[in-house]
Amino acid sequence: MLAYSAPRQDMQFVLKDFLDSEQHYANLSGCETVSLELLDAILDNAAKFAEEVVAPTFRTGDEQGCTFDNGRVTTPDGFAEAYRQWGEGGWQSLTIPAEEGGQGLPSSIGMFVNEMVGAANWAWSMYSGLSGAPVSCLLNGGTEELKQRFLPKLLSGEWGGTMCLTEAHCGSDVGLLRTKATDNGDGTWTVSGTKIFISGGEQDLTDNIIHAILARVEGAPEGTKGISLFIVPKIWVNEDGSLGDSNNVTCGSIEHKMGLNGSATCVMNYDGARGFMLGEENEGLKVMFKLMNFARIGTGLQGLTMCERSYQGAVAYAKERLQMRAISGPKNPDGPADPIIVHPDVRRMLMTQRAISEGSRAFLYWLSQQIDLSKHGSAEEAEQANALLEFLTPIAKGFCTETAQEVTYLGMQVFGGHGYIAEHGMEQVARDNRISTVYEGTTGIQALDLIGRKVMGSGGKLLQNFTKVIHLFCQEQQDNAEMAAFIPRLQELNAEWGTLTQQVGEGAMKNPDIIGSASVDYLMYSGYVTFAYIWARMALVAQQKLAAGEGDAAFYQAKVTTAKFYFQRLLPRTRALAESMVADPESIMALLEESF
Residues 6+ apart with CB under 8 A from 442: 172
Asked whether the beta carbons of 266 and 254 are under 8 A apart, the reply is yes
Max CA-CA distance within the chain?
83
Q: How confident is the model at residue 1 (pLDDT cuts 50, 70, 90)?
A: low
Across residues 153-168, what is the average pLDDT? 95
How far is it, in rounded angstroms, from Cα 109 to Cα 99?
18
User: Alpha helices, DSSP H only, in 377-511?
Assistant: 379-415, 426-434, 443-448, 461-477, 487-510
How far is it, in rounded angstroms, from Cα 54 to Cα 129?
14
Residues 6+ apart with CB under 8 A from 183: 189, 217
Residues 6+ apart with CB under 8 A from 578: 496, 500, 525
Asked whether the beta carbons of 173 and 163 are under 8 A apart, the reply is no
Q: Give Cα separations from 85 to 31, 89, 152, 507 (angstroms).
A: 26, 6, 17, 56
Q: How confident is the model at residue 96 (pLDDT cuts 50, 70, 90)?
A: very high
- The listed range with the strongest mean pLDDT (163-172, 174-183, 462-471) is 462-471
Bridge partners (DSSP) of residue 472 are none
Q: How confident is the model at residue 400 (pLDDT cuts 50, 70, 90)?
A: very high
Q: DSSP code of 153?
A: H
Q: How confident is the model at residue 189 (pLDDT cuts 50, 70, 90)?
A: very high
How far is it, in rounded angstroms, from Cα 553 to Cα 572?
29
Among 299, 302, 305, residue whose Cα is nearest residue 439:
299
Residues 6+ apart with CB under 8 A from 185: none
Q: How confident is the model at residue 440 (pLDDT cuts 50, 70, 90)?
A: confident
Work out the angle between the directed axes of helices 284-320 and 107-120 (0-180°, nearest 10): 50
How far is it, in rounded angstroms, from Cα 484 to Cα 44?
37
Q: How confident is the model at residue 531 (pLDDT cuts 50, 70, 90)?
A: very high
pLDDT value of residue 327: 87
Burial 535-551 (b: 16+ CB within 10 A, else e): bbbbbbbbbebbeeeeb
Across residues 269-288, what is the average pLDDT? 94
Among 149, 145, 166, residue whose Cα is nearest residue 235:
149
pLDDT value of residue 40: 95
Q: How confident is the model at residue 289 (pLDDT cuts 50, 70, 90)?
A: confident
Give CB contacts under 8 A, 24+ apart, made by 581-588. 581/500, 581/504, 581/518, 581/521, 581/522, 581/525, 582/500, 582/503, 582/504, 582/507, 582/518, 583/517, 584/511, 584/514, 585/511, 585/513, 585/514, 585/516, 585/517, 585/518, 588/513, 588/517
Total count of residues recorded for the chain:
596
Over the stretch 362-394, which tens digit does the pLDDT of each residue have?
999 999 999 999 999 999 999 999 999 999 999
Of 292-301, 406-415, 521-530, 544-553, the range with the lowest mean pLDDT is: 292-301
How far is it, in rounded angstroms, from Cα 371 to Cα 197?
28
pLDDT value of residue 299: 95
Q: What are the DSSP E strand ranges found in 259-303?
A: 265-278
3-state secondary structure of 194: strand
Q: DSSP code of 428?
A: H
Over the stretch 316-366, which tens digit does the pLDDT of each residue have?
999 999 999 988 888 888 889 999 999 999 999 999 999 999 999 999 999
Count of helices and strands (H, E) across the chain:
19, 11
How far is it, in rounded angstroms, from Cα 205 to Cα 207?
7
Paired sense of beta strands 180-183 and 208-217, if any? parallel
pLDDT value of residue 433: 98
Task: Please determine, for residue 172, whether its predicted confidence score (pLDDT) is greater than 80.
Answer: no
Query: What φ, ψ does residue 387 adopt, rounded to 5°?
Result: -65, -40
**32 included as an active-site residue:** no
Over the stretch 502-529, which tens digit does the pLDDT of each residue have?
999 999 999 999 999 999 999 999 999 9
Over the stretch 25-82, which tens digit does the pLDDT of each residue have?
999 988 888 999 999 999 999 999 999 999 999 999 999 999 999 999 999 999 999 9
Q: What is the DSSP string of 76-144?
A: PTTHHHHHHHHHHTTGGGTTS-GGGTS----HHHHHHHHHHHHHH-HHHHHHHHHHHHHHHHHHHH--H
Instruction: State which amino acid sits at residue 242.
Output: S
Across residues 489-494, what is the average pLDDT? 98
Give CB contacts under 8 A, 24+ apart, made by 242-251. 243/207, 243/208, 247/273, 247/274, 248/272, 248/273, 248/274, 249/209, 249/211, 249/273, 250/71, 251/68, 251/71, 251/72, 251/73, 251/201, 251/202
Asked whether the beta carbons of 242 and 250 are under 8 A apart, the reply is no
Q: Which of 440, 496, 506, 593 is catalytic?
A: 440
Give CB contacts under 8 A, 24+ apart, made by 141-149. 141/229, 141/278, 141/279, 141/287, 142/231, 142/276, 142/278, 145/239, 146/231, 146/276, 146/278, 147/100, 148/241, 149/237, 149/239, 149/241
Across residues 541-557, what is the average pLDDT? 97
For CA atoms 560, 561, 565, 568, give the dihedral sign: positive
pLDDT value of residue 326: 85
Instruction: State which amino acid sits at residue 106.
Output: P
Q: How confident is the model at residue 171 (pLDDT cuts 50, 70, 90)?
A: confident
Query: What φ, ψ does residue 219 adopt, rounded to 5°?
Result: 85, 0
Among 69, 265, 235, residue whose Cα is nearest residue 162:
265
Please give the span between the terminal C-alpha atoms of the chain, in angstroms, as a whole number. Answer: 44
